[in-house]
Chain A
Amino acid sequence: GENVEQHPSTLSVQEGDSAVIKCTYSDSASNYFPWYKQELGKGPQLIIDIRSNVGEKKDQRIAVTLNKTAKHFSLHITETQPEDSAVYFCAASNRGGSYIPTFGRGTSLIVHP
């Protein structure tokens, strides 16, 4: 089955800095890679996703890059703000196969004012 590794487990940055979270996956058939943000006491919320036919996707301060050859993808947050503080999860699934999403173990991002 799919295995998703996520690093780092904790990331502390100063407001205005950039933050990068990295994930690797094992199943070369995986072709859909969403990122979720979970704020304290709430459910995860999709913030951006990427499909295997593109290498990069951007939405304002958030971007995701995908390297299918190396089987890794990353979340980039620029100009971080305190409200970006949350737990971030990456996931991988095979949209043409079982569709079962496998989640990474999460990264706790702390943005200091």
Chain B
Amino acid sequence: DTAVSQTPKYLVTQMGNDKSIKCEQNLGHDTMYWYKQDSKKFLKIMFSYNNKELIINETVPNRFSPKSPDKAHLNLHINSLELGDSAVYFCASSHDLDYEQYFGPGTRLTVT
């Protein structure tokens, strides 16, 4: 069974569109995260949700919004996509804030 899953794996879209990436974890973890990995492999945390409460919100544009319908899901919505949004987005989860993180397989977003 996949511990942390993301859909879709690849997403190609045009500038200005709105898109969503879904994430689900079946580990029973209380905390979920979204990361962005750029073309140079740099990993940067975007959001963190702990017990459905947003507790970390890095300086990302407000075009990005996390949505958590329940503890097992943290979806990422992106409005008005820009070329610079092209990257690999990783979802992750952990038992709690200060535990090791388990990453999903990533979603490669390409904005044309």
Contacts and interface: CB of A to CB of B under 8 A. Distances in A.
B43 interface: yes
A29 interface: no
Contacts, number: 50
Given A100-B56, A105-B40, A43 B100 contact: no
Interface centre among A34, A36, A44 (most CB of B within 10 A): A44
Nearest to A108: B41
Contacts of A46: 100-102
Interface in B65-112: 90, 92, 97-98, 100-106
Contacts of B100: 34, 46, 49
A38 B42 CA distance: 12
Interface string B13-51: 000000000000000000000000000111111001000
Given A49-B100, A98-B56, 20 more contacts: A32-B98, A36-B103, A42-B105, A42-B106, A43-B92, A43-B103, A43-B105, A44-B43, A44-B90, A44-B103, A45-B103, A46-B101, A87-B41, A99-B97, A100-B48, A100-B56, A103-B43, A106-B41, A106-B42, A108-B41
Instruction: List 8 A-B pairs, minimum CB-CB distance, nearest first.
Output: A43-B103, A95-B98, A99-B97, A103-B43, A106-B41, A46-B100, A44-B103, A43-B90
28 contacts: A32-B98, A38-B41, A41-B106, A42-B106, A43-B4, A43-B103, A43-B104, A43-B105, A43-B106, A44-B43, A44-B90, A44-B103, A45-B103, A46-B101, A49-B100, A87-B41, A89-B43, A96-B98, A98-B56, A99-B98, A100-B45, A100-B56, A103-B42, A103-B44, A105-B40, A106-B41, A106-B43, A108-B41
Interface of A: 32, 34, 36, 38, 41-46, 49, 87, 89, 93, 95-96, 98-101, 103, 105-106, 108
